[in-house]
């Protein structure tokens, strides 16, 4: 997941840099020509992509020979340690038949309310505190990322007198940490998503808070802002990678515990649509909020609101992120000892 989402983060943050350079060198319309070219390339890749259902006829022999692989989510969930030790401790098992008390298992989700009868899978997803925490954390990540798109170029233009090329170049510092997405994913697999995501919130808050001291034009101030943007970008990627992976871990667990509800279609499409909705809402909320704050107040107050957002968002992550995965990691470490 870290490798996959590093592409999204890098694209989102590199776009101001590329657009600024092209606009400064070639003008207005070449920027849109570049965008259209990227869209056409994306369309061609989608058309030539082989769907999972079509690939099964070639993949079946390979899959049957690698049933013992420890890299698959299914093998991870089927582990005797996971199910035998911590299945009942998961905080979001309110709708799971496996986690319900014996007296409540006769109560099917379709007998509780009209919404449950009409949208049973959606209800199960919304009831998962772990999954909704991951979605909220990713919403916060995109809110902060979109905030920089709204105010960073304006800030460096007013403070450092940068042109569009210079304003675009400053985004390299913020987007550069995205290339280490696979490293963040490895850390999340090793130490658990909760610890890495909380580290990401703390790192982002530190970079945002220290950026308040950037107030005037000088070589030291420009270098300081670049370093703080790298620090903030690293923190943002430490938020995105573990939470996105944890979201899909939880989706797999919900699907397994409620197989009779989700059926063959599964839960991944609904969970991913929820993720896209959160990202879309954040790209509207982040720039609108920070743009208004920056115009009405100043750079320091705007950054402080983002620091507060990081602090408040870390609370549900501390309470609900991780679940079975982190318990399984702890059990594995105990067995090694």
> How far is Cα 166 from Cα 173, in angstroms, rounded to an integer?
12
What would the two tokens of residue 103 be? 């007296």
Supply angle C-alpha 120, 127, 124, rounded to 5: 25
Which of 242, 239, 230 has its CA nearest to residue 175? 230
Residue by residue, pLDDT tens for the chain (337 residues) are 556 666 666 676 667 777 777 877 788 888 888 888 888 988 898 888 776 666 666 665 555 554 444 444 444 444 444 334 334 434 444 444 444 443 344 444 444 566 666 777 778 888 889 999 999 999 999 999 989 988 998 999 999 998 877 887 888 888 888 888 889 889 998 999 999 999 999 999 999 999 999 999 999 999 999 999 999 999 999 999 899 889 988 888 888 887 777 766 667 778 888 888 998 999 999 999 999 999 999 999 999 999 999 999 999 999 999 865 555 555 555 566 5
Look at phi and psi of residue 214 and say left if phi exceeds 0, alpha if psi is from -120 to 50, else beta: beta
Supply angle C-alpha 240, 242, 246, rounded to 5: 115
Write the DSSP symbol of residue 49: P
- Domains annotated on the chain, with CATH: 2-49+110-336 (1.20.1250.20)
What would the two tokens of residue 302 be? 């705007």
Supply angle C-alpha 239, 240, 245, rounded to 5: 110
Tell me the whole-structure pTM to 2 decimals. 0.71
10 Å CB burial of residue 64 (0-12, 13-18, 19+) is: exposed
* Terminal-residue alpha carbon distance, the chain: 29
> How far is Cα 34 from Cα 32, in angstroms, rounded to an integer?
5
Q: Is the Cα torsion angle 47, 53, 58, 60 positive or negative in sign?
A: positive
Q: Phi, psi (5° rounding) for residue 108?
A: -80, 155
Sequence-distant (6+) residues with CB within 8 A of 44 are none
């Amino acid at each position: 997941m870290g490798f996959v989402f590093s592409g999204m983060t890098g694209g989102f943050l590199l776009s101001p840099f590329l657009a600024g350079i092209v606009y400064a060198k070639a003008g207005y319309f070449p920027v849109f020509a570049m965008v259209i070219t990227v869209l056409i390339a994306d369309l061609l890749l989608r058309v030539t992509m082989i769907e999972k259902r079509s690939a099964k006829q070639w993949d079946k022999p390979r899959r049957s020979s690698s049933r013992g692989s420890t890299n698959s989510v299914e093998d991870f969930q089927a582990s005797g340690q996971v199910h035998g030790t911590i299945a009942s401790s998961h905080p979001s098992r309110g709708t799971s038949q496996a986690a319900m008390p014996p007296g409540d298992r006769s109560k099917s989700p379709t007998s509780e309310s009209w919404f449950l009868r009409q949208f049973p899978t959606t209800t199960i997803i919304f009831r998962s505190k772990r999954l909704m925490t991951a979605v909220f954390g990713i919403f916060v990540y995109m809110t902060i990322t979109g905030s920089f798109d709204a105010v960073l170029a304006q800030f460096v233009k007013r403070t450092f007198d940068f042109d569009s090329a210079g304003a675009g170049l400053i985004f390299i510092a913020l987007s550069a940490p995205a290339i280490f997405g696979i490293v963040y994913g490895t850390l999340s697999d090793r130490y658990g998503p909760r610890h890495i995501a909380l580290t990401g919130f703390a790192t982002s808050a530190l970079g945002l808070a220290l950026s308040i001291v950037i107030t005037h034009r000088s070589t030291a101030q420009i270098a300081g802002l670049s370093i703080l943007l790298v620090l903030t970008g690293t923190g943002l990627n430490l938020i995105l990678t573990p939470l996105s992976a944890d979201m899909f871990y939880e989706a797999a667990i919900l699907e397994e515990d409620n197989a009779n509800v989700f059926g063959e279609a599964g839960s991944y499409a609904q969970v991913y649509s929820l993720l896209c909705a959160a990202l879309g809402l954040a790209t509207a909320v982040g720039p609108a909020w920070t743009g208004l704050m920056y115009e009405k107040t100043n750079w320091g107050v705007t950054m402080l609101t983002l620091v507060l957002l990081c602090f408040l968002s870390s609370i549900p992550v501390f309470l609900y992120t991780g679940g079975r995965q982190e318990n399984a990691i702890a059990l594995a470490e105990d067995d090694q000892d």
